Amino acid sequence: MIQVNESILSKDETEQIKALFDVKPADLHVSVEVKGLSKEAAPVVATRPEFMRRMKDMAAIGGGGMMNFYGQMPDEVTLTVNGNHPVYQTLLKETDTEKQQKQVRNLADLALLSQGLLKGSDLTNFINRSVEMMN
């Protein structure tokens, strides 16, 4: 279980982080929350509601009736941003907005990738952006 601590970010910084993480991947409904987690915890954690995950899994294996309805719904995911992770102190000071947006998008994509939710063109864009940022 992840321990929740007091966030070191100010209210304005928290709102700025939320705005930066307003990403819209294909076929996903994303909500963002900023919490004060341990500095050692991941910078972003993606979680899905257990009920929806199970319904979509059952629909994928051929459950009939209501299962088809759930299978056609977009995945819901919550991105929990660890406001205490050191990366955000650097990210908030970044003056190059394009670089800042790429870094934020990569953090979000890494969290989505960990849940198997990064697919198709979003995955290709993540790979290309990661290579580009290394140059």
Cβ atoms < 10 Å from Cβ of 108:
25
Cα separation, 32 vs 17, in Å, equals 9
Cα separation, 67 vs 8, in Å, equals 43
Query: Could you tell me whether strands 28-37 and 75-82 are parallel, antiparallel, or unpaired per DSSP bridges?
Result: parallel
Lowest mean pLDDT segment, chosen from 20-24, 65-69, 76-80, 94-98: 65-69
pLDDT tens digits, one per residue of 97-128: 999 999 999 999 999 999 888 888 989 999 99
pTM over 0.85: no
- HSE of 41, CA atoms in CB hemisphere, 13 A: 19
User: Which CATH class name applies to 4-134?
Assistant: mainly alpha
Residue 47 pLDDT greater than 70, yes or no = yes
Q: Where are the domains of the chain?
A: 4-134
Q: Residue 84 has what pLDDT?
A: 93
Q: Residue 53 has what pLDDT?
A: 62
Helix ranges (H only) for the chain are 11-20, 50-60, 66-72, 87-93, 97-114, 120-134
